[in-house]
Amino acid sequence: MKKSVLFICADQWGWDFFGFMGPKNAHTPNIDKLVPQYCFLQTLHGIVPCGPARTTMLTGLYPFIHRSVCNGTPLDNRFTNLPLEAPSLDINPPSMATRYFV
């Protein structure tokens, strides 16, 4: 059976953006269905800006190791990351997307 991974990173979203957290005006039925089966972090505080925080999640390395400590800093090519390693684990990452809402 093909392995599946769904990784959702919601940067700067409040608790009231998700229906499963209780607000009446948030309509997220598909995410709401996933919560009882899986885990989610209810509270998480990053110590670096969003770009380096994502680099940490995708590499598994601390910022002082990967040295991406400012937004816009490219990852040194000697380090690998989850999207690059996924095919070797028989996981196909079909989409890595970022959306910004103003």
Enzyme catalytic residues: 50
> Whose CA is closest to 10, among 47, 35, 42?
42
Q: Is 64 exposed, middle or buried (0-12, 13-18, 19+ CB in 10 A)?
A: exposed
Distance CA 102, CA 55 (A): 23
